[in-house]
């Protein structure tokens, strides 16, 4: 039986990954900050899917905590076959209106944790000759909407580069780039999304299912939903100056609250 490790596993897209991977028979290592939610999810997955579970309480803005997750991924005696780097959140204020420590913490979660954990997982998987890494990015990585877009752009490009480096090794890397998705993400951030039409919203369960299908095919960039496939294709073609001029920040500056993905 294979083992998957999911960061940000207790809510939203990460929660969908945890359930679907367990349903497919994977043992799961669940990583998040909230011990109570982790324990409840662990109990639920064991009871419902009869799989093994393990919890790691970790704040990925903390380097020591990230190091502990990295060590788990490197453990040859307990191999992890699939890594899902999903942990993330968003700040509402613009870059210059935020305290730099808030921005540094966001960068550590969205970028530094992704490449530290990908490095540990990819080396261990390459040694064994098989495995897969999913880095949850965003359609925002193709536009210019503040530091969230910049950091997600890093995740997408980093994953593309990692995929090339792993070519022929039996290990794959996939960047998942969803658009607006029905999760706790915006509610927990206190962001009013009422102006977004319903047809632009994705279902977390379906996008995770489609992503796992893309991973099985070895696809490098997974964009769920026909509407977002069309948007990304267009964004790849139009001049960057036009992208910059038309980009609109969804997270309007009001306060400094944040929401987890």
Give the pLDDT score at 259.
46
Helix (H, G, I), strand (E, B) or coil at 179: coil
Under the banding of pLDDT at 50, 70 and 90, the label for residue 65 is: very high
Helix (H, G, I), strand (E, B) or coil at 180: coil
| Least trusted range by pLDDT, from 34-48, 115-129, 154-168, 170-184 | 170-184
The CATH architecture assigned to 3-260 reads 3-Layer(aba) Sandwich (3.40)
Q: Average the pLDDT over 11-31 and give the result.
A: 97
Would the pLDDT of 251 be above 80? no
Would the pLDDT of 37 be above 80? yes
Torsion of CA 205, 211, 217, 218, to 10 degrees: -150
| Least trusted range by pLDDT, from 53-57, 91-95, 109-113, 233-237 | 233-237
Considering only CA atoms, which of 184, 143, 177 is closest in space to residue 160? 177
Structure tokens at 39: 């324990």
Mean pLDDT, the chain, integer: 88
Considering only CA atoms, which of 83, 132, 130, 85 is closest in space to residue 109? 85
Give the DSSP per-residue string, 83-150: EEE---EEESS-GGGS-HHHHHHHHIIIIIHHHHHHHHHHHHHHHHT-EEEEEE--GGGGS--HHHHH
Give the pLDDT score at 129.
98
Count of residues making up the chain: 261
How far are the Cα atoms of 110, 126, 158 from residue 115, in angstroms, in the given order? 9, 16, 8
Give the pLDDT score at 206.
92
Would the pLDDT of 186 be above 90? no
In angstroms, the CA 159 to CA 153 distance is 10
Summarised one tens digit per residue, pLDDT across range 78-90 is 999 999 999 999 8
**When comparing pLDDT for 102 and 227, which is higher?**
102
Residues 6+ apart with CB under 8 A from 202: 178, 179, 180, 181, 182, 224, 225, 228
Annotated catalytic residues are 148
Q: Average the pLDDT over 225-232 and give the result.
A: 87
In angstroms, the CA 36 to CA 30 distance is 12
Indicate the pTM of the whole model: 0.88
Give the pLDDT score at 241.
78
Pairing assessment for the beta strands 53-57 and 3-7 based on DSSP bridges: unpaired
Partners of residue 6 on adjacent β-strands: 30, 84
Under the banding of pLDDT at 50, 70 and 90, the label for residue 116 is: very high
Would the pLDDT of 148 be above 60? yes
Q: Average the pLDDT over 151-158 and give the result.
A: 97
Give the pLDDT score at 190.
47
How far are the Cα atoms of 40, 129, 133, 242 from residue 121, in angstroms, in the given order? 26, 12, 8, 38
The separation between the first and the last C-alpha atoms of the chain, rounded to the nearest angstrom, is 28
């Amino acid at each position: 039986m294979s083992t998957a490790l999911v960061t940000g596993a207790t809510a939203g897209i990460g929660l969908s990954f945890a359930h679907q991977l367990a349903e497919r028979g994977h043992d799961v290592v669940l990583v998040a900050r909230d011990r109570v939610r982790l324990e409840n999810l662990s109990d639920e997955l064991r009871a419902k899917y009869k799989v093994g579970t393990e919890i790691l309480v970790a704040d990925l803005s903390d380097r020591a905590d990230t190091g502990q997750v990295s060590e788990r991924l490197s453990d040859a005696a307990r191999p992890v076959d699939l890594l899902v780097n999903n942990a993330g959140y968003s700040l509402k204020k613009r870059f210059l209106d935020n305290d730099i420590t808030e921005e540094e913490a966001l960068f550590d979660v969205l970028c530094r944790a992704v490449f530290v954990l990908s490095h540990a997982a990819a080396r261990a998987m390459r040694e064994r000759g098989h495995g897969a890494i999913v880095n949850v990015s965003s359609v925002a990585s193709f536009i210019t909407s503040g530091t969230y877009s910049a950091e997600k752009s890093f995740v997408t490009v980093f994953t593309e580069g990692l995929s090339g480096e792993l070519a022929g090794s039996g290990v794959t890397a996939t960047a998942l780039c969803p658009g607006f998705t029905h999760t706790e993400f915006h509610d927990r951030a206190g962001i009013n999304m009422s102006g977004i039409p319903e047809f632009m919203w994705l279902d977390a369960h379906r996008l995770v299912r489609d992503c796992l299908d893309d991973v099985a095919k070895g696809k490098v960039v997974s964009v769920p939903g026909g509407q977002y496939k069309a948007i990304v294709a267009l964004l790849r073609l139009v001049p960057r100056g036009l992208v910059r001029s038309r980009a609109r920040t969804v997270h309007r500056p009001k306060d400094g609250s944040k929401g987890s993905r």
